[in-house]
Structure 1
Amino acid sequence: MFNYIIRRLCYAIPILIGVNLLTFTLFFIVNTPEDMARAHLGDKYVTEQAVQHWIVDKGYDQPLFFNNAASGISTLTDTIFFNKSLKLFAFDFGASDEGRNIRSDVANRMGPSLALALPSFIIGIWVNITVALLVLMFRGSKLDRFAVGFFVTLMSVSYLFYIIFGQYFMAKAARLVPVSGFNDGIDGWRFLILPILIGVISGIGAGARWYRSLFIEVSGQDFARTARAKGVSETGVLFHHILPNAMLPILTGVVVVIPTLFMGSLVMESFFSIPGLGSYLLDAIRAQDFAIVRAMVFLGSVLYIIGLILTDISYTWADPRVRLK
């Protein structure tokens, strides 16, 4: 197990370098240092001298990848890529282009993101699996056909519709919850009820439909038919045979997502003014703050790789026949 984890971590290094390199290249294709300087200083009444001063002050006056004016190893180290990107592997996120400490911002904004993402994730999984199991118990009936059509309908509705609909009826019309905002005090739950509810409801269509298809595939295997032939009730087959044997694909889709919950939701946090990492990244993209975008993409890649490793490890818990060597 230990050797397997070490191998996976070693494989992750070139992947992270590739993601970092791709992000770096794409960002500077879209934005030049001059564009970034004018975005921060403002387009009006900005002199060329002020733009060049900003570029030099932020370290964007060096070549991107290769410094032909230098010699030896300095051809690689005296570049923007080396000074801005490779420090991320030591989790040194540095400062944003506005001078804010990125590591402190991430630490402060991680709490609101988790406060929204974790309940939505846990409740959503429980609801989707429960609904799929209930529908499976009535497989082939009118209820089953209605449920499948309802799932497809929910999948067809735009995510923004759920947000706008919920904000208008539950917040503005009924005044049950605030329209937007966030409070980390004792009454902060009032600001999270609506986005969590929207996150759960909007995911029922795709989630329950996927779990239903998974359970149907497992229910047609030999062990399930053998259990029915021995007189086991359909409920017993469902909970004692189908559900345990469906754990591997369930874990594949669930465990890998857990680390990425730290990254928050771009759309949800923006619409509900929640100061999480999702809105933090979106604000950085709008402001063309490459330091924040680079750090957040790198952090997201690291968390996703951790999720893949946790998924493989969880297989050994769900199925003892799986062994990692």
Structure 2
Amino acid sequence: MFNYILRRLAYSIPILLGVNIITFVLFFMVNTPDDMARVHLGDKNVTEEQVEQWKHERGYDLPLFFNTDITETIFYQKSVPLFLFQFGNSDQGRNINHDISQRMWPSLALAVPTMIVGLLINISLALLLIFFRGTYLDTTGVVIAVMLMSISGMFYIIGGQFLMSKLWHLVPISGYAYSFDAWRFLILPIVIGVISGIGTGTRWYRSIFFEEINKDYVRTARAKGLSEFKVLFTHVLHNAMIPILTGVVVVIPTLFMGSLIMETFFAIPGLGSYTIDAIQAQDFAIVRSMVFLGSVLYIIGLILTDISYTWVDPRVRLS
């Protein structure tokens, strides 16, 4: 197990390096340091001296990739510190590490309840449909799930804000509070996040359970006299944990990074809105840091998922 984790960590280094190179190349294919300087200076009559000064203060006056001294390149100075989680300052002068430490909590407060509640509801509904498979309830449930999948997430956001905030005045339409009152600002986006994912989640888990329900071990359990309820919740659910865990790992970066659309529409100061603002402001330092952080979290999620496989299925061994 320990050797396996070390190997996966070693594999992650070239992956992260590749992500950095791709992000770096794509960004500077669209924006040159001169373009970035003019955007941030925000003056149509900006002089070349001002542009050069802005670039020099932020280290953008160096060559991009190639130089006689590799350490004197933008790529080296902007990318190597990331592997030490030293994100430096944004192009606007803010400390990125401090911003992340502040903004991660609203993102977690929004994403964790949404994931947990959504997971429980989706699995429960999927098991219910499997329990009544082949009946009108199953058919109706699948049709409703497809209808929910077909509705854009923007509809849920705008409709929820209109009904709950503008029409009924139950919760604030947007904003956030760094106190116990934060729940008033989070309850609506959490509910919307759960409802908008019911269609996709229920159909996904139903397909997993439907595949398990026809296997030999299920027929053996029924032959031993176990009730259908116990077969589903004891055997089928347990043996379906591997694909469930695989689906959950995709959400792990979102737990920390936040929801880009949800945080933007509800003005929640999380890492999702932080990333959107950085893209709009063409702040390469923040964009690079967020992409790197998301890659690290995804790799960690994959490792944790592989390890958890050994807990839910003894047949899986990591060496």
So what's the TM-score if we normalise by structure 2? Answer: 0.98
Q: CA RMSD in A?
A: 1.0
Per-residue Cα deviation, 1:105-161 (whole angstroms, up to 9, x for no partner): 000000000000000010000000011011111101111111111111111100110
Worse overlay, 21-30 or 224-233: 224-233
Tell me, which stretches of 5 or more residues in structure 2 are unaligned? none
- Cα contact 1:224–1:241 (8 A) shared by 2: yes
For residue 308 of structure 1, what is the amino acid of its counterpart?
A: L
Worse overlay, 90-99 or 228-237: 228-237
Q: Which residue of 1 aligns with 2:44?
A: 44
Helix, strand or coil for the counterpart of 1:66? coil
For residue 38 of structure 1, what is the amino acid of its counterpart?
A: R
State the alpha-carbon separation in 1 of the partners of residues 250 and 317 from structure 2: 19
Q: Which residue of 2 aligns with 1:23?
A: 23
For residue 285 of structure 1, what is the amino acid of its counterpart?
A: I
Helix, strand or coil for the counterpart of 1:175? coil
- Cα contact 2:110–2:190 (8 A) shared by 1: yes
State the alpha-carbon separation in 2 of the partners of residues 204 and 138 from structure 1: 18
User: What fraction of aligned residue pairs are identical, expressed as a percent?
Assistant: 68
| 1:246 aligned residue (240, 244, 252) | 240
- Cα contact 2:111–2:254 (8 A) shared by 1: no
Q: Which residue of 1 aligns with 2:263?
A: 269
State the alpha-carbon separation in 1 of the partners of residues 146 and 250 from structure 2: 25
- Cα contact 1:94–1:102 (8 A) shared by 2: yes
Tell me, which stretches of 5 or more residues in structure 1 are unaligned? none
For residue 262 of structure 1, what is the amino acid of its counterpart?
A: F
1:182 aligns with 2:176: yes
Alignment of 1:72-87 (within 5 A): 74=69, 76-87=70-81
Q: Which residue of 2 aligns with 1:56?
A: 56
Helix, strand or coil for the counterpart of 2:226? coil
So what's the TM-score if we normalise by structure 1? Answer: 0.96
What number of residue pairs does the alignment pair up?
319
Q: Which residue of 1 aligns with 2:203?
A: 209
Q: Which residue of 2 aligns with 1:279?
A: 273
State the alpha-carbon separation in 2 of the partners of residues 146 and 133 from structure 1: 14
- Cα contact 2:249–2:298 (8 A) shared by 1: no
- Cα contact 1:119–1:196 (8 A) shared by 2: yes
Alignment of 1:187-206 (within 5 A): 187-206=181-200
State the alpha-carbon separation in 2 of the partners of residues 42 and 304 from structure 1: 36
State the alpha-carbon separation in 1 of the partners of residues 168 and 234 from structure 2: 44
**Structure 1 segments of 4 or more deviating over 2 A?**
255-260
- Cα contact 1:124–1:203 (8 A) shared by 2: yes
Per-residue Cα deviation, 1:136-190 (whole angstroms, up to 9, x for no partner): 1110111111111111111110011000000000110001110000002121100
For residue 298 of structure 1, what is the amino acid of its counterpart?
A: F
Report the alpha carbon displacement of residue 259 of structure 1 after superposing the two structures with TM.
4.4
| 1:292 aligned residue (286, 293, 296) | 286
Per-residue Cα deviation, 1:227-270 (whole angstroms, up to 9, x for no partner): 22232211111111111111111111114533441000100000
